[in-house]
Structure 1
Amino acid sequence: MTRSQRFIFRNMQGRTRHNINWDAITQESSVDMTAAMWQFSGGIFGTDGRPVLGEPGREPNVYITNIGPHGKPGREAGGVEFLAHTETDHPVDVMVTVTVSDPVEATTVLG
């Protein structure tokens, strides 16, 4: 079964390291993540808003790398570590969506 959660990170700029704990994730989980610049609407409280591209010609590159699910049931908290990249000359808000699927079927070491 696939499950998703969305997180809004305020004032992001550059490369930053993050960890989100979520008991739906184990180190065997398949985790996909997306990111986009976020713009709030309706004030500073709540989560109303939407993803935006930014001003024409000044659109920031916003993306996620190094996605590392972690957690062993009964031994370690589940979650995911990742690097967020926000390539802009000023801090922006960023929306990150974490989607976890069923555990991977196999892990193969190559090389």
Structure 2
Amino acid sequence: MRLKTNIWVGAYLRRCQVAGAFSAVRRRGAEEAGAVFVKVATLDGNAMLYVPAPQTVYDDSRPIDRFFVPIAKDPLPESAVEERLLREIRFDPDAWIVETEDKQGRHFLDLAAA
């Protein structure tokens, strides 16, 4: 059974807070199974966007894990990230958007599921 999205998001926010990064829910989606998009603003006008990984990446022995992939190798202008988020919301109105602000660009996604 997969962890409910609202519980996963709460744990992710706490993980960011513990590391000293500001993180907040910008858009609340479906509580049970909404897709989560994580924007990491580097506070210089750029940002990274992490989107849910394709289902083929998941391991059936760990169904509670969530995996993310960046949409680009390097940070993009925040306006480009915002445009992508608008397209995602139009496609999936149940999606969540979480924004993290961290000058170092840390995303904490490798630690949120642990």
- TM-score, normalising length: structure 1: 0.32
Bigger helix fraction: 2
Rg comparison, structure with higher value:
1
Bigger strand fraction: 1
